[in-house]
Amino acid sequence: MHRVQLHYSIGREATDARTVLNPLPALLQAVAQQGSISGAARSLGLSYRHVWGALKRWEVELGNELLHWDKGHAAQLSDFGRKLLWAEQQAQARLAPQIAALQADLERALALAFDPHTHVLPLYASHDDALPLLRSVAANAERPAPVHLDIRFTGSVDAIRALNEGRCTVAGFHLPVAPPPTSLHAVVYRPLLQPGQHKLIGFTTRALGLIVPAGNPLALHSLDDVVRQRATLCNRPLGTGTRLMLDSLLQSAALLPRHVQGYDQVEPSHDAAAQAVASAQADVALGIAPAAHRRGLGFVPLVQERYYLVCLRSQIDSPGMLRLRQVMSEPAWHALCRQLEGYAPSDSGQVLSLHRELPWWTFRRPKRATTAQ
């Protein structure tokens, strides 16, 4: 059995939190895309000799042939090489939230070591592409002090529970714009979020939709299409905002979970769900556009969402929260957020009325005392 060793580097430049880098998959991917060792070398900025030698050393180390290659013919991955690349892509997609959490742990410890004045904010949040970007901007905001977001990706419901149990300072969750008082979102979030106890902070809007193979071969444009075509859907776990959104959309379409083939097939993140579609383990998934397009997949928007941050009332004016809200209100963050497909800043950093944004609470006015005649 071959063993895996993990390493990390320290530097000032931001790195991709979604991956643990390994040179072999990069070499295999380049050869598969370019069809030759020389083309792979050029695309990676390496010499032919370096790439050829590295692949030969890996073949000896792993005890299997990685390439089929003859002079005058295109280089092709062997069956083992294709399986190895597929396994790497599957693992990276499924472990992306854990990898991001591990990076956050290391960065938190190093931030405290290098700068004792850095604000550290533990944040539990639904998986999202904008949060790692915000973490990068906040960590580089030198004046008056940087903020380190210690992110743990979890489901929206679990994130708010973690906030209420004191396991984090900030939570991130998402739901459709202006959900009606009778929605599933109201049923789930009403017991968890309370006016007077929680403070809501604007963050982004984003598009949620169907992740489909390139070209959308099954012509899936709605959940009705998914059911009619008997397409296999990749779902998300219980407690996640995306699963709650799926159930809400099914309810609106008068569909039941049992109508959806693959409803019980789950993946932990948008990236993992997209990878399931890319590897033909599913025909469709509900997710965000960047996860689809990172894998060359199609995206059919279904609903516009608001992504919020929330903290307890006692923490809204703490130094760390004040600094984070300031960073979120600055043009640098707004410009970066807009670079994500389907995203836009929305009241970013502003404290919002919980009652107006989530209008499912009713308050009775106190009765006026009557004066005896």
Percentage of the residues of the chain whose pLDDT score is greater than 90: 59
Look at residue 5 in the predicted model and tell me its pLDDT. Answer: 67
Integer Cα distance of 283 and 141 in angstroms = 42
| Mean pLDDT of all residues belonging to the chain | 88
Look at residue 120 in the predicted model and tell me its pLDDT. Answer: 87
Please check the confidence at residue 254 and state whether its pLDDT lies above 90: yes
Q: Give residue-wise pLDDT tens across range 126-173.
A: 999 999 999 989 988 767 778 889 899 999 999 999 999 999 999 999
Domain boundaries, the chain: 16-116, 118-357
Q: Give residue-wise pLDDT tens across range 65-105.
A: 888 866 666 788 888 888 888 888 888 777 777 777 777 77
Q: What is the mean pLDDT of residues 31-53?
A: 88
Pick the CATH number of 16-116 from 2.60.120.260, 2.30.110.10, 3.40.960.10, 1.10.10.10: 1.10.10.10
Closest among 286, 258, 257 to 274, alpha carbons compared = 286
Domain 118-357 fold is D-Maltodextrin-Binding Protein; domain 2 (3.40.190)
Please check whether the two domains, 16-116 and 118-357, share a CATH topology.
Answer: no
Q: What are phi and psi of 274, to 5 degrees?
A: -65, -40
CA distances from 3 to 61, 91, 98 (A): 12, 15, 19
Residues facing residue 125 across a β-bridge = 153, 172
